[in-house]
Amino acid sequence: MEYAIQDVAQIIGAKTNTLHDCTISILLTDSRRLSFPESSLFFALETKTNDGHRYIQDLYKLRVRNFVVSKMLPEFAQMEEANFLLVKDVLAALQKLVAYHRKRFQIPVIGITGSNGKTVVKEFLYQLLHNEFDIVRSPRSYNSQIGVPLSVWEMNEKNTLGIFEAGISQPDEMEKLQPIIAPTIGVLTSIGEAHQENFISINQKCLEKLMLFNDSEAIIYDGDNPLISTLIESACLSHKAIAWSRTDREAPLFIESIEKKQDETVIHCTLLGFDRTYTIPFVDDASIENVIHCLAVMLYLKPTSVNDTEKFAHLEPVEMRLDVKEGIQGCLLINDTYNSDINSLDIALDFLQSRKVAKNLKSTLILSDILQSGTLPKSLYKKVADLVERKKVNRLIGIGKDLKEFASVFGEQLEKSFYQTTDEFIASPEIKKFNNEVILLKGSRHFHFERISELLEKKVHETILEVNLSAIVHNFNFYRSKLKPETKMVCMVKAFGYGSGSFELAKTLQEHRCDYLAVAVADEGAALRKEGITIPIIVMNPEFSSFNTMFEYNLEPEVYSFRLLDAMIKETERRGIIAYPIHIKIDTGMHRLGFQPYEVPQLIEHLKTQSGVKVRSVFSHLAGSDSFVFDDFTQQQLEKFKEAATSLENGLGHPVIKHILNTAGIERFPQWQMDMVRLGIGLYGVSASGINGLRTISKLKTTILQIQHVPAGDSIGYSRRSYVERDSRIAIIPIGYADGLDRHFSNGHGEVVIRGKRCPIIGNICMDACMVDVTDTDAQEGDSVIVFGEELPVSELSDRLKTIPYEILTSVSPRVKRVYYWE
C-alpha cells in the first residue's frame, strides 16, 4: 500500500523541509535490508547500541530519498533531493504510522502473546486457515517493538484475516504494541520465566501482556492455569474469556482426553456441545497445547472451520532455523526449513546474499513451489522473480508444477532450470554440477528437500557441534547494553572462536557492528580476511615469522616487548610503511606478556623517534577479575594501568584507545570500561561471575549407533573397568577422546542426555566412541545424544573435571563438524 510522503509527515506529526513529491510503500529500519530505494522510508532508529543516522548518507547514495530522523546532521544539507521528517522519537513515529495504517482495516485480527509458543500457534493457525482466509501474518518471530509495526504494515485491502504475535521484555512495551495490532481476538499462550529480568513478578508480566487485549472481543487461554485465570478476572476481562479446559465440562472447549501414541496424539473434545476427535502428528505437550489454542480460536472465528479434522492430521512442525553447513566441492549450504512463503524467502535471500559477498562465491537458489493462497500463482512468481533479481541470485533451480509453468517470468540473465518433482531433480545430471557456490535450499515440507541436502552436504562424522548464531548476537548485545554507547568492543575469536568456529562467528559479529576482532596468531586472522572479514583484527601473539602475513592481510599486532617493537619498526621501514597500527600491552600483574609500567618512558622514546608504527590502543589484562577474593589486587592492576596508559598517551601526544576489561571485568567493574572492552567467554554463553541473561550458544551432539543388551556381570570396554550389575541396555555413541570428550569422564564420571534423561557413561572412553547405560530410558538406535548444551551445561562438565569452561569448549576437536543456525 502506498502513502504520499506529505501524508506520512502529517500522520506522525513531523517537522519537515519543503517536501518533494514521493510515495512510499516500504518501511526500512535496517539499512542492510534495502531493496527498493525509491519507495522506501528509512527510520533512523537510535538504540542502546547503534544509531541509524549514521547510515543516512550511504543510503542517499543508493537513491533512498525519504528519512524519518530525530536530529539534523550537518551533512544532510548536501542531500538536496531528500525529504527529512524530523520527530522527537523515531521509534514512536514508526509505531504511530503503523497504528494509523491498522485503523483502516475492519478485518478480524488475531493477536498472540505469551512466553512460549507464539510463533508456533501463529503458523499452525496459518496452516489450518489459509484455505478460508487471505491471511497476513508476522514473518518468522517478528514480535518486537520494531518487528510488530513492520509486520502489521504488510496489511492490505485483499487480506481477510491478520495474525500477529507480540513479545515484550520490559514493562510498558505492550501498551505501545496494542494500538498497532489492535487484535479483535487475543490468544495468551503459556506464561513462563522467559524475559523475566525486567519485571517485578510473574503477575506483573502477565498483566502487562493482557494489555494487548484491551479492545479485543475474545481472549483465548488455558482455563486450567490458575495464574492466568485469576489475572483475567482481576483485569476485568472475564466477560471476553474463552477458556479451554480439561476439567471444566462447561467450558466452550472441553478437552475430554489426550491419548499419546507412538508418533501421534488423539485429542477427544467437546466443542460447544459437539463431540469431536482430532489426531495430530505430535506427541510433545507443547505442540498439543498449541493445537488446542488453535482449535479455540477457530471455534470463535469460524465454527465450521473445525469440522475438517483431516487438516489437523497434516499439521507440519514449525521450524525457525536457518542451518549453515559445509557442502560438497567448496559449496556452502544454507538450509531454510521455515515455512516456504514469500516473506521468509526475502529474509533467507538476504542471508544468502551476505554469505555470497563474504565468501566470493556464486549464489544458487533451490526453490520449491510456494504453497500460499491469496495471491494468484502468476503474480506470486513474478514477485519471486523480482526478489531473485534484486538479491542478485546467479542460478535458480525451481522444483514443482507451478514454478515450471511460470518459468518464463524469471529474467534472462539468470541461469535457471526447472523440474516437476524433487525426484526428477535428484535423477538429473544437474545434481552433480555444484562447485564453489552458496546454495540456499528453500522448500515446502512435502517436497522433502532434506533428500537434496543429504546429497549436497559434506559427509563427516555423526558427531556435530551446533552453534546458534542468534544466541551469539543475543550475548553480544547483552554485554553491549551494559556499556556506554561510545565504548568500543573487541570480540575474542581466538582459538577458533573458543572452539565454536571463527568465520561464521566473525561474519555475524561484523554484521552486528562489532568494532574489533582478536585472534591468537596471524594465520587465524589471515583465514578470516580471505573469507571476507573486513573489520580490524588484533593478533594477540604475533610471531616474528609472521610479519609477512600480518602486513599482507592488514592485521594489527599486540606489541609487548622492545625486541618485538624494534623488529616491527625495522620491518615497516624496510617496506616503506607509515603509521602501521599496533596495540601496546602493559603487564600490571598478570605476568604473562607485556611492558612493565616503568618501561613506559623508554617506550615513548622509541615510538617518538620513528614513523613506521602508530599506537592505536594500549591495554592490560586482569588476572583475577572473576573473584571478589582478588578485588584488592584487581584494583591495584586498574590503578597501575590507568597511570601507565595516561602517561603513554600524554607522551605520544595523540589519543590512544585504552582498555583492560575482559568478560568478568565487564560484569563486575563496568566503571572501568574506558574506551573499549574485550569480550571473550561471555559471548560464548558462560558468565564469568554468574549473572543471568546469557544464552547457551552451542550443543555438542551425536547419535546412538547401536544398543546392546548386556547380561548382568559382564564388563564393558577396554581394560574391563566397568561391570554391569543388572541386565542392561548399553548404547554405543560415536564420540571419543579424539573428539574432545575427556577420558576422565569414563566409568560413570560423566553423563550424556538422551530423550531428556541423564545417562551415565560406562566403561573407559575409547578414541572414537564410548558406551552409555540407557537401561532406565526408552532410548532407541538413531536417537540423538547431547554431550553438552542447554540440557547439560558446559560449566557442569568443567566442574566435574575440576577445570574451567574455556577448556571444555576449546577441546572439541576440529574433526567435529560445526553446524550453524539462526532462529
Ligand X SMILES: *Cc1c(COP(=O)(O)O)cnc(C)c1O
Chain residues that interact with ligand X, rule: CB under 6 A: 492, 540, 621, 662-664, 678-682, 688
In three-state secondary structure terms, 453 is helix
3-state SS class at 333: strand
CB closer to ligand X, 124 vs 788: 788
**CA 203 → CA 272, 525, 649, distances in Å?**
31, 49, 53
Name the residue number minimizing CB distance to ligand X.
Answer: 680
CA nearest neighbour of 442 among 372, 318, 344: 344
Pairing of strands 464-468, 698-703: antiparallel
Cβ at position 818, least distance to ligand X in Å: 19
Q: How far is the CB of 537 from ligand X (least distance, A)?
A: 14
Q: Which grid coordinates belong to 559?
A: 606489541
Residue 27 or 582 with smaller CB distance to ligand X: 582
137 labelled binding-site residue: no
Sign of torsion, CA 484 490 493 494? negative
Residue 54: CB partners within 8 Å, gap ≥ 6?
Answer: none
* Residue of 391, 494, 507, 640 with catalytic role: 494
Active-site residue identified among 433, 570, 718, 723: 718
Whichever of 355 and 621 has its CB closer to ligand X, that residue is 621
- Of 602, 612, 588, nearest to 648 by C-alpha is 602
| Residue 513, marked binder | no
- Look up cell 622509541; give the residue: 606
Q: Which helix H or strand E contains 572, and what residues bound it?
A: helix 562-575
Q: Please give the Cα distance from 593 to 586 (Å, whole number).
A: 8
- Cα separation, 117 vs 292, whole angstroms: 12
| Min separation Cβ 584 and ligand X, Å | 12
Q: Which is closer to ligand X, CB of 9 or CB of 517?
A: 517
Q: Report the nearest approach of ligand X to the CB of residue 664 (Å).
A: 6
Q: Which is nearer to ligand X, 533 or 688 (CB)?
A: 688
At 14 the three-state DSSP class reads coil
Residue 708: strand pairing partners: 730
Name the residue nearer to ligand X (CB basis): 612 or 665.
Answer: 665
Whether residue 87 contacts residue 68, with contact meaning beta carbons closer than 8 Å, is answered with yes
Give the type of residue at 330: G
Residue 658 CB, nearest distance to ligand X (Å)? 14
Q: How far is the CB of 669 from ligand X (least distance, A)?
A: 13
Q: Please say if 494 is a catalytic residue.
A: yes
In the block, which residue shows the cell 491469496? 374
CB of 614 to ligand X, least distance (A): 20
Residue 122: active-site member: no
Kindly give, in sequence order, each residue whose CB lies less than 8 Å from that of residue 170, ignoring residues fewer than 6 positions away: 198, 199
Nearer to ligand X, 341 or 667 (CB): 667
State the nearest-atom distance from the C-beta of 543 to ligand X, in Å: 16
Sign of the four-CA dihedral 624, 625, 631, 634: positive
- Specify the 3-state DSSP secondary structure of 215: coil
Residues near 592 by beta carbon (within 8 Å), at least 6 away in sequence:
621
Whole-number Å distance between alpha carbons of 530 and 507? 12
Task: Compute the distance between CA of residue 78 and CA of residue 292 in angstroms, rounded to an integer.
Answer: 58
* Shortest distance in whole angstroms from residue 341 CB to ligand X: 41
Cα–Cα distance between 367 and 636 in angstroms, integer?
A: 61
CB of 138 or CB of 487, closer to ligand X: 487
CB atoms within 10 A of CB 375: 16
- Whether 536 and 515 have beta carbons less than 8 Å apart is answered as yes
Could you tell me which of 696, 702, 791, 779 has the C-alpha nearest to residue 741?
Answer: 702
From the number of C-beta atoms within 10 Å of its C-beta (0-12, 13-18, 19+), residue 18 rates as exposed
Q: Of 471, 516, 521, nearest to 494 (Cα)? A: 521
C-alpha cell, 574 = 624496510
Please identify, using beta-carbon distances, which residue of 206 and 679 lies nearer to ligand X.
Answer: 679
Burial zone of 369 (CB within 10 Å; 0-12 exposed, 13-18 middle, 19+ buried): buried
Locus of grid cell 594477540:
540
Strand, helix or coil at 7? Answer: helix
Distant-in-sequence, close-in-space partners of 343: CB < 8 Å, separation ≥ 6: 139, 140, 154
User: Which of 3, 16, 7, 150 is CA-nearest to residue 82?
Assistant: 16
Minimum CB–partner distance for residue 210 and ligand X (Å): 40
Residue 206's closest CA among 95, 295, 114? Answer: 114
What span, in angstroms and rounded, lies between the C-alpha atoms of 324 and 333? Answer: 6
Q: Which helix (H) or strand (E) holds 482?
A: none
Nearer residue to ligand X within complex by CB, 95 or 663: 663
Least distance in Å: CB of 644 to ligand X?
16
Tell me the binding residues for substrate.
592, 767
Catalytic residues: 494, 718
- Which segments are annotated as binding site? 592, 767
